[in-house]
A = this chain, B = another copy of it.
Amino acid sequence: MSFEGLEVGYDIPAKPGMAVSDIATPALVIDLDALEANLRKMGAMAAGMGVALRPHGKMHKSADVARLQHDIGGASGICCQKVSEAEAFIRAGITDVLVTNQVRGAKVDRLARLPLLGAKVGVCVDDLASVAELAEAAARHGTELRVLVEIECGGGRCGVVDPADVVTIAKAVIDAPGLTFDGIQAYHGSLQHVQTYADRLKGFEAQIATVQAAIKALTEAGIACPTVTGAGSGSFEFEGRSGIYTELQCGSYAFMDVDYGRIEAEGGGRLDGDWRNALFVAATIISKTRPGLAVGDAGLKAMTTESGLPTVFGRSDVHAAGVSDEHSNLSDPTDSLKIGDRLRLIPGHCDPTCNLHDWYVAIRGDTVEALWPVTARGKSF
């Protein structure tokens, strides 16, 4: 990728080869050593559990990260949540994409065109009328869509509730030309963020009972269910070892964030003991006029706080006390911070934070190694 004509500090936050200390802040930074370690670890874990890995691209929205997940991290494809995201990934060369969401209305036509670009494309349904919409669009374009029935398994959002409806919808998919029934989508989003390991395990027991009821209903109706897919970075070991799930959709393991870092791992440690923090918002101190306080240049337009404040990586002497639109207030009780000092902030929630930025600055040690576009940034349609 050429960065000719792009200006550091306006178009892009850095150029490859620059010192990390010269990155224009605020910027979204990936520590490549940490990212690669996370990707390899998850690839090995999925392989060890005998399940496929289809990491969630909604988290990073980056074709470069997706390629690395494929090349070194054992991934067989990616997930995303929106048709425009799938388009962005496929246009950038990703060839196996599952939209883990309902696609309705005018977007169905866009989805059904995507296999024409050479990609294998999947989608979820939780409503009978959705099947006919997808089949019509697939027929219009002469394409094939892989379809999973999404079940409600505790997250309280989309998904079929009654196993009998799962069977009805699966049969409609099987009967529809252009659609292939591939199994069940069963993701429990809110379980990922349950604090204690014991409570997560308990939540998973209810989840797996729901999944088993759906599979039982399909089996009794003579319908094979090749794929059972779901799981996030807070629960994937449960799904992976269940003997029921065939595929994991974890996303945040690649980067980690403050919210996941708070969560208890098996054995009593924290999840950021198992996974390295690979994602940071680089910030610079721009004001220091009072004792105990320093003000940084990264605010709500550089990181989101709906899951809590950022933490300061590698520093125990300072911490984030508040974040406003363009500033972060840093509590600095020993007045160790001065104008121009740089900090690495771990964002509260990685997914919406990544979506704020146009570029990832991929660093190794003190050097910028690469600049990656946030391929699907803003693709929320």
Contacts and interface: CB of A to CB of B under 8 A. Distances in A.
Interface in A90-109: 101-107
A81 B304 contact: no
A301 interface: yes
Interface string A99-121: 00111111100100000000000
A140 interface: no
Nearest to A27: B381
A274 interface: no
Majority DSSP secondary structure for residues of A touching B: loop
A288 B127 contact: yes
Nearest to A284: B105
A38 to B, nearest CB: 20
Q: How many copies does the complex hold?
A: 2
Interface stretch (A67-75, A156-164, A210-218, A237-245): A156-164
B152 A289 contact: yes
Interface residues of A, number: 69
Contact of A287 (B157, B284, B295, B298): B157
Interface stretch (A18-26, A39-47, A221-229): A18-26
Interface in A164-217: 189
B158 A189 contact: no
A19 B288 CA distance: 51
Given A84-B9, A87-B10, A339-B104, A352 B301 contact: yes
Interface of A: 9-10, 13, 22, 24-27, 58, 81-84, 87, 101-107, 110, 126-127, 129-130, 152, 156-161, 189, 284, 286-290, 293, 295, 298-302, 304-306, 323-327, 329, 339-340, 349, 351-352, 355-358, 378-381
Nearest to A13: B381
Contacts of A101: 286, 326
10 contacts: A13-B381, A101-B286, A101-B326, A104-B284, A105-B284, A301-B380, A304-B304, A304-B352, A306-B323, A356-B380
A152 B349 CA distance: 31
A261 to B, nearest CB: 18
Given A58-B325, A304-B352, 9 more contacts: A9-B84, A10-B84, A101-B286, A127-B287, A152-B290, A189-B324, A300-B304, A356-B356, A357-B378
A326 B56 CA distance: 13
B127 A24 contact: no
B10 A289 contact: no
Contact of A326 (B107, B160, B358, B380): B380
A158 B356 contact: no
Nearest to A300: B352
Q: Which of A25, A287, A349 has the most CB of B within 10 A?
A: A287
Contacts of A379: 10
A175 to B, nearest CB: 21
A110 B326 contact: no
B83 A325 contact: no
Given A22-B106, A325-B351, A340-B104, A289 B381 contact: no
Nearest to A80: B326
Given A301-B380, A381-B13, A289 B329 contact: no
A305 B302 contact: no
Nearest to A61: B301
Task: Please list the 4 inter-chain residue pairs (A to B) with the smallest Cβ-Cβ separation, ordered nearest first.
Answer: A158-B287, A81-B326, A300-B352, A102-B286
Contacts of A13: 381
Contacts of A355: 301, 356
A236 to B, nearest CB: 17
A10 B81 contact: no
